[in-house]
Amino acid sequence: MNTYLRILSYAKPYGKFVPTYIIYALLSIIFGLLNFTLLKPLFDVIFEQVDPASLTQFTSKPSFEFSIGYFSHLFNYYFLQVAETYGKMGTLFYVCIIIVVSVFLANLFTYLSGVVLAKVRAVVIKRMRMDIFDRVSGLQIAYFSNERKGDLMSKMTNDVQEVENTIVQSLRVVFREPATIILYFAVLFLMSVKLTLFTILIIPISGAIIGGITRRLKKKAVQSQQSLGRIVNILDETLSGMRVIKAFNAEWFMKTKFDEETDYYSHVNVSMARKNELASPISQFLGVSVVAGILIYGGGLVLSGNSDLGASDFITYIIIFTQVLNPAKEISRAMSNIQRGIASAERIFKVIDTPSKITSPKDPIHLEGFKNSIEFKQVSFAYEESTVLKGINFTLSKGKTIALVGPSGGGKSTLADLVPRFYDPSEGKIELDGVNIRDFDLNKLRGLMGIVTQESILFNDTVFNNIAFGLSNVSLDQVIEAAKIANAHEFIEKLENGYETSIGERGSKLSGGQKQRLSIARAVLKNPPILILDEATSALDSESELLVQEALTKLMANRTTLVIAHRLSTIQHADEILVIEQGKIVQRGTHAELSQTTGLYQKLSSIQSV
């Protein structure tokens, strides 16, 4: 119930929707009920059971008042007038017109209430999607190392869709149908207390059976959504790794993996469908059984003359009661569907409720810019139980370049990721101009930095928008200037639509060197005082590396740079080189100093010079 109410909280403020919906829904129910209460005078006319003496009290037109008695008196007044003037056929015609008008109004208000609920549905789903997107966007990088991307995508798409298709769609059932049942039973009580009490004693049996079925659905619904998340993950891995899959003739492996998961998904959904589909037939069967019981019990009373209902009253009673079965059936079906929606909602809220471990402080220190240095003081870092960095100490002064080298897996990229607070140190601290970087606003801190990684992160958008990414009010001239500095302008001009050319998903229409130069142009345009370069040239051919390295040299001019290098030839002019091995700084110095010192750097240098 708490999950359901939390979903509804996304529709706040309720005042925008609830009063209007209640008015439309009640009018729809009232006019719908009127359709069937008018059957009694219709039957009376057809079966010639109208007693003229009983109508004399309606010879005068009543004074207006908002009550059932007023509208009943008004109907009978005109009913009497028409009966006296036009006879039986005229009266029949009059009743039929009233029924048609009543049906029209009932459907009109049903439509209007549906429109209101459509607005509620749109608001709820939009806010929920934005909520989970905001949460995922704000979570620390480490979170995505432990979660499958496909499962996250499934939660943000399939699970939200499931909530819309089940719970939000059920709002009409949850609010309207109980009101319908209450009003219909109120009329039934007015017609016959004895007969209605009999029906109320039988109906709970149906509810208990349906409730038992719906309780079993939730577990299967959770399994279904989890399996769907794994299917999306397999699809994402297959599409992203198609080149490797084909190169290793591994289509059969991925096909088998996909087949097993989809087979499990089908099995779970068939099992869930058996229970879900069972609710409606059982509800209908039990409903008809109840009607049959009423016919036997009530019909016996009418035939024996022990009932307070006449023949036409009893037929009308039966017709009205059968209409109670429809909302009862809708409620039972909705309860089944809601279990699936709640299972999906709980998966969504699990992400939304995940706290971000890296946030801005409540009262951040004002950050005016970068003036002096970045200093690592006894910094250690561990991924859960695995220690990656141990007691790192160094100072990167403004305008200087420090390079990080060493074997793969030594902790170089992790060290660089600590500066923009993609991760926070497990021990020690990092200071910017003498202040712990945790004390600054996170966005302001990252605003000082430009990052170029080995893998160029580009988006399925135009060249212009990729270079101007994250910046506002950027002119074409500024983008062109940045592209020229990054040695990218020449190839961009040759593209089909120049700077308005769409580069495809992840820049698939560009070569590795072209993508990297766009990334550098993006960093140039941002014009940050601090640069972090993570093996920005290691994946390029010699020609592309030369162009990119030239662009990086221009980018690094007069900036403070932390660079991770795989090729030592690219960092020979660094002010200081830190050799990282197994999470520790094992050597430090300039290229000339380290080349003359026996150790890991000299070994790496000799290997690359071969």
**Cβ atoms of 262 and 231 closer than 8 Å:** yes
What's the average model confidence in pLDDT over 595-599? Answer: 86
Q: Comparing 538 with 313, which gets the higher pLDDT?
A: 313
Per-residue pLDDT, 438: 93
- Give the pLDDT confidence of 384-440 residue by residue, as tens digits: 778 899 999 999 999 898 999 888 888 888 899 999 998 899 999 999 999 999 999
Bigger pLDDT: 297 vs 370:
370
Q: Is the pLDDT of residue 358 over 80?
A: yes
Regarding predicted confidence, which is higher, 299 or 443? 443
Share above pLDDT 90 across residues of the chain, in percent, rounded to a whole number: 10
Tokens of 124: 């709820």
What three-state secondary structure class fits 102? helix
Q: pLDDT tens digits, residue range 76-121?
A: 676 667 666 766 677 677 777 777 888 888 889 888 988 888 888 8
Nearest to 396 by CA among 418, 368, 411: 418
DSSP structure string for 392-423: EEEEEETT-EEEEE-STTSSHHHHHHHTTTSS
Q: How confident is the model at residue 307 (pLDDT cuts 50, 70, 90)?
A: low
Angle between helical axes of 68-138 and 18-37 (0-180°, round to 10): 140
What CATH topology corresponds to 373-609? Rossmann fold (3.40.50)
| Contact partners, residue 226, CB within 8 Å, separation at least 6 | 151, 347
> Mind spelling out the 3-state secondary structure of 458-485?
CCCCEHHHHHCCCCCCCCHHHHHHHHHH
Cα dihedral 231, 237, 240, 244 sign? negative
- Higher confidence at residue 243 or residue 179? 179
Residue 273 pLDDT more than 60? Answer: yes
Asked whether the beta carbons of 486 and 520 are under 8 A apart, the reply is yes
Q: Which pLDDT does position 36 carry in this prediction?
A: 64
Nearest to 251 by CA among 276, 234, 268, 270: 234
pLDDT of res. 393: 93
pLDDT score recorded for residue 427:
92
- Say what the pLDDT of residue 280 is: 62
Name the pLDDT band for 214 (thresholds 50, 70, 90). Answer: low
In the prediction, which pLDDT does 555 show?
74
Predicted pLDDT at 128: 87
**Per-residue pLDDT tens over the stretch 43-62:** 555 445 555 555 565 567 77
Query: What band does 345 get if pLDDT is binned at 50, 70 and 90?
Result: confident
pLDDT in tens, 442-496: 888 988 888 887 777 888 888 898 888 888 888 999 999 888 888 888 888 988 8
pLDDT for the residue 276: 65
The stretch 580-602 carries a mean pLDDT of 88
How does residue 539 score in pLDDT terms, banded at 50, 70 and 90? Answer: low
Between residues 551 and 113, the one the model is more confident about = 113
pLDDT of residue 67: 59
Average pLDDT of the residues of the chain: 79
Q: Which residues of 200-238 are buried (b: 16+ CB within 10 A; e: fewer)?
A: eebbeebeebbeebbeebbebbbbbbbbbbbbbbbebbb
pLDDT tens for each residue of 248-271: 677 787 888 888 888 888 887 787
Q: What is the mean pLDDT of residues 276-300?
A: 70
What percent of the chain shows pLDDT beyond 70? 79
Report field, pTM of the whole predicted structure over 0.75? no
Per DSSP, the three-state class of 353 is: coil
Class of the domain covering 2-352: mainly alpha
Q: Which residue has the tokens 């002119």?
A: 475
Tokens, residue 387: 């220690």
Domain ranges across the chain: 2-352, 373-609
